[in-house]
A = this chain, B = another copy of it.
Amino acid sequence: MCQLLGMNCNTPTDILFSFEGFHRRGGLTDHHADGWGIAFFEGHGVRMFNDDRPSVDSPVAELVRRYPIKSENVIAHIRKATQGTVNLANAHPFIREMWGCYWVFAHNGNLIDYAPAKGQYYRPVGDTDSEAAFCQLLETLRQEFDEQPDEDTLFERINAIATEIRAFGVFNFMLSNGEALYVHCSTQLHYIVRQAPFTNAHLVDDDISVDFSTVTTPKDRVAVIATQPLTDNEHWTPLAANQLVLFRDGAPQRMSNNPEFRLTY
């Protein structure tokens, strides 16, 4: 299975610290060595980097580790191939345009005997279950709405489509249009919200710490979501099974299993 990393912030923030630990899981501290990718939204633009080499020795990962790209929504993925060959067309994240916005998607899991009908608007290029699911998700939304619906409607529909697709297997995913980050948990995903007062954080995957109080302003708020916690001295909250969470402005704003939930940070 694969590893997912997401970040959603109320101000453009770099992901260097989290990526430092995360990229080691691609061939060094864990066995996810079949390529990797990362997408950074900057407004409605997207910067994508991917490589079919393991992230731990990828020159592209080396660039991402050194270049502090500031973004409000980031999705990263390290691949352990379960379906589809190891090639660039099968590397997550995947990207499509819908309603005049780019949508980016990455998946951790395995969908069994999953073969959605060919879409009118969206078709996979590679041969993974993940890209097929992404295309079906967008296809269903696009068939239903000619323009982007309001947030309540969109959240409810994404949750309903995720419910259908996860009947085929494990379906942890992250999805963003640059405005919000949708995170769906089948089996394992954890998140943390960092905000003032910022403290020190220490990576699980290497002996590296950062004192966030020295690199933030009091107004900053950053949510980091990962398959497994990236730090060992902070409290990460596990998502519940079959839970869809919408992150915006650096915090969860909607949770599918708790319709009354609204931001309390």
| Chain A residues in the interface with B (C-beta under 8 A) | 42-52, 59-60, 63, 66-67, 87-91, 95-97, 99-102, 121-126
Contacts and interface: CB of A to CB of B under 8 A. Distances in A.
Contact of A124 (B63, B90, B100): B100
Q: What DSSP secondary structure best describes chain A's contact surface?
A: mixed
A177 to B, nearest CB: 10
Contact of A59 (B67, B90, B102): B67
B123 A88 contact: no
**Chain A to chain B: the 8 pairs with minimum beta-carbon distance, closest first:** A45-B88, A45-B89, A100-B123, A42-B88, A63-B63, A59-B67, A44-B89, A44-B125
A231 B90 CA distance: 36
11 contacts: A42-B52, A43-B89, A44-B89, A45-B87, A46-B89, A49-B49, A60-B67, A96-B97, A97-B122, A101-B125, A121-B121
A97 B90 CA distance: 14
A47 B93 CA distance: 12
A45 B51 CA distance: 11
Contacts of A48: 48
Given A43-B88, A59-B66, A87-B45, A123 B99 contact: yes
